[in-house]
C-alpha cells in the first residue's frame, strides 16, 4: 500500500507540473513514461479494427510502432486491449511468431527495443492501452504489477476528466480517424468491395509506402490516390 501511495503521489506531481494547453492524456502519458523509466510512451483508445485512435505519442519511435500496428493489424497493443492483460515483445533479430509482420517491420523501422502494452481498465472494462518501449538492456523501473496499478489510476483520472475535456483533447485523433472512414467509403465505391477489404487495401498501401494510414486516407480523399484499375492502352 505504501508503494502504491508513493506511485500515486509521483503521478500527481508530474501530471500537474505540466500545465495546459498540454492535454491531460499527454501529461499522464509523459508522467507514466518518466515514473517507469521508459524511453517513449503512447496512449491508444478504442483499439478495435474500426475505431482505433492513438491519442498521443511522446516521440517518433513509439509513433512509428503505433502506426505499424495499425497498418499490419498486429501487435501487443491490440492484444492488450482484447484480452485485458499486458503484453510485451522483444524487437530483435528473431521475428515474433505471434505478430510476424509487425515484429519484422518494427525491427527494421526502429532497431532493437522492447515494447510493452498495458490495458487501462480501472472499472474492469478496458477502454484504452498505454504502450511503452525501452532500449536494449534496459528494464522498466517498476514491476509490471505496479505499472498496471499506475495505468489504472491514470485511467480513473481520464474518465473523471471526460465530461469537461475529452472532446477537445481527442478532437485531433478522432478527426484523422474520420478521414480513414471516409477514405474506406471511397475505396468501397471505387472497387465495389466490402468495408473491411477497403480498410485492408489502405493498410497494405500504407505499409508498402512506409507512410501512416492517416496519410494514405488523406491522399484518397484529396483524389491523389485512386485504386480503380486504369484502362489498358494497346
- pLDDT tens sequence across 200-228: 788 777 766 777 778 888 899 999 988 88
Topology of the domain covering 171-221 = Arc Repressor Mutant, subunit A (1.10.10)
Task: Identify the residue with better confidence: 120 or 207.
Answer: 120
Mean pLDDT computed over every residue of the chain: 82
Rounded Cα distance, 15 and 41, in Å: 15
Among 28, 155, 168, which Cα is nearest to 81's? 155
> 124: burial class by Cβ within 10 Å (0-12, 13-18, 19+)?
exposed
DSSP state letters, 24-60 = HHHHHHHHHHHHHT-SEEEEEES-STTT-EEEEESSH
Residue 107 banded pLDDT, cuts 50, 70, 90:
very high
Residue with the three cell numbers 522483444 = 90
Find out whether 102 and 74 touch, Cβ atoms under 8 Å: yes
Query: Would you mind telling me the total number of residues written for the chain in this entry?
Result: 234
Within this chain, domains 2-165 and 171-221 share the same CATH topology: no
Q: Locate the domains of the chain by residue range.
A: 2-165, 171-221
CATH architecture classification, 2-165: 2-Layer Sandwich (3.30)
Q: Mean pLDDT over residues 116-129, rounded?
A: 89
Q: 62: part of which helix (H) or strand (E)?
A: helix 60-72
Q: Mean pLDDT over residues 85-94, rounded?
A: 93
Amino acid at each position: 500500500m505504501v508503494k502504491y501511495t508513493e506511485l500515486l503521489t509521483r503521478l500527481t506531481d508530474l501530471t500537474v507540473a505540466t500545465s495546459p494547453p498540454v492535454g491531460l492524456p499527454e501529461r499522464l502519458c509523459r508522467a507514466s513514461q518518466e515514473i517507469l523509466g521508459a524511453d517513449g510512451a503512447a496512449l491508444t483508445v478504442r483499439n478495435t479494427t474500426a475505431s482505433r485512435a492513438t491519442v498521443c505519442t511522446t516521440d517518433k519511435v513509439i509513433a512509428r510502432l503505433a502506426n505499424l500496428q495499425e497498418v499490419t493489424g498486429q501487435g501487443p497493443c491490440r492484444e492488450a486491449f482484447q484480452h485485458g492483460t499486458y503484453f510485451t515483445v522483444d524487437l530483435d533479430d528473431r521475428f515474433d511468431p505471434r505478430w510476424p509482420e509487425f515484429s519484422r517491420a518494427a525491427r527494421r523501422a526502429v532497431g532493437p527495443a522492447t515494447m510493452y502494452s498495458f490495458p487501462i481498465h480501472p472499472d474492469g472494462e478496458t477502454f484504452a492501452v498505454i504502450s511503452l518501449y525501452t532500449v536494449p538492456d534496459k528494464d522498466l523501473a517498476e514491476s509490471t504489477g505496479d505499472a498496471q496499478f499506475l495505468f489504472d489510476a491514470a485511467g480513473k483520472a481520464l474518465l473523471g476528466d471526460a465530461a469537461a475535456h475529452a472532446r477537445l483533447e481527442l478532437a485531433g485523433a478522432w478527426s484523422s480517424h474520420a478521414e480513414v472512414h471516409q477514405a474506406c467509403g471511397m475505396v468501397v465505391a471505387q472497387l465495389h468491395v466490402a468495408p473491411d477489404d477497403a480498410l485492408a487495401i489502405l493498410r497494405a498501401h500504407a505499409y508498402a509506402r512506409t507512410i501512416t494510414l492517416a496519410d494514405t486516407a488523406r491522399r484518397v480523399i484529396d483524389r491523389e490516390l485512386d485504386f480503380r484499375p486504369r484502362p489498358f492502352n494497346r
